[in-house]
Structure 1
Amino acid sequence: MTEPQSLSGSNLEQLGVQRGLAEHLGITFSEASGTRVVAQMPVQPQVHQPFGILHGGASVVLAESVASTGAYLSVRDRGMLAVGLEINANHLRSVASGTVTATGTPIFQGRTTEVWSVEIADERGKLICVSRCTLAIIPRPEGAQPG
């Protein structure tokens, strides 16, 4: 396996990664490599469910963004992509404002699959969600750019 690629800051553009939904939700990356990814998301009305707290779906988007970024960084030098196969999430407590931080680390990094664990915490360091994401490692289609 090749050495993982590292990234500091929120500039995923240097990796050629298009931001899409993550950018729409305000997700930024403070650390990213093939062995650890840390990202933040502001908890604002655009990510609330109808009762004014963080929507579980927004937490899942954050978790999959973290896992997918890490898995991609671990395989991109082999000309591969990482695509989500399955994700689960346990929502442990609610949060209505502030910023949440997701930290992802691999549980398993194989030739054709990776499994990542992602913990999402509030500003006090209290866990609000734990997630596990399984990703398929596939060849990058000719001419395709990650996104």
Structure 2
Amino acid sequence: MRPVPTLEELNERGEGFLPGLIGLRFTHAEPGLLRSELTVRPELFAPNGFLHAASVIALADTTCGYGTRILLPEGASGFATIELKSNHLDTSRQGVVTCEARVVHAGRTTQVWDAEVRNEKGDVMALFRCTQAVLYPKG
């Protein structure tokens, strides 16, 4: 297992990439559990005036992905998403949405993560699951 980066390191990692572009911020990190948040703003809306599903997925997928990186086994060089699924139950038009991601399985060749995204009222907006393939150098 790799050392857990500081919140500052996690947040800096996303600068100049999609996590930084959408304004994702990590608020908690430990092996197997990460929390993040995103301030809702019009640029993240769909044309219907509600938070775009892709914005919610970006929050959940990034949070799970950073968790995957922390739990990579010795010798692994990275990971790639095999599958992701998201069920959207509610939405938001203001405030801060939060994400909590937990590892379900952390094996040598795959990891499975679950995440819940909640609006500022605490209502579950989305249930998310992803499966990651653990990658190793060819040789």
Structure 2 length normalisation: TM-score?
0.88
In structure 2, runs of 5+ residues without a counterpart are none
In the alignment, the residues of structure 2 paired with residue 94 and residue 62 of structure 1 have an alpha-carbon distance, to the nearest angstrom, of: 13
Counterpart position of 1:106: 103
- For the 8 Å contact 2:73–2:108, the answer to whether it is kept is no
Counterpart position of 1:6: 4
- For the 8 Å contact 1:32–1:69, the answer to whether it is kept is no
- The answer to whether 1:94 aligns with 2:58 is no
- For the 8 Å contact 2:102–2:113, the answer to whether it is kept is yes
- The answer to whether 1:22 aligns with 2:19 is yes
Counterpart position of 2:38: 41
Segments of 4+ moved more than 4 angstroms: none
Aligned-partner SS, 1:133: strand
Structure 1 length normalisation: TM-score?
0.84
C-alpha displacement of 1:103: 0.3
Counterpart position of 1:69: 66
Counterpart position of 1:83: 80
- For the 8 Å contact 2:76–2:134, the answer to whether it is kept is no
Counterpart position of 1:131: 128
C-alpha displacement of 1:140: 5.5
In the alignment, the residues of structure 2 paired with residue 41 and residue 72 of structure 1 have an alpha-carbon distance, to the nearest angstrom, of: 21
Q: Which amino acid aligns with 2:9?
A: N
Aligned-partner SS, 2:23: coil
Q: For 1:57, which of 46, 54, 65 is the aligned residue? A: 54
In the alignment, the residues of structure 1 paired with residue 136 and residue 59 of structure 2 have an alpha-carbon distance, to the nearest angstrom, of: 24
- The answer to whether 1:115 aligns with 2:121 is no
- For the 8 Å contact 2:11–2:25, the answer to whether it is kept is no
Aligned-CA RMSD value: 2.1
Query: Size of the alignment, in residue pairs?
Result: 138
Instruction: Work out the percentage of aligned pairs sharing the same amino acid.
Output: 25
Question: Residues 123 and 137 of structure 1: is their aligned pair in 2 closer, same or farther, counting only changes over 3 Å?
Answer: same
C-alpha displacement of 1:31: 1.4
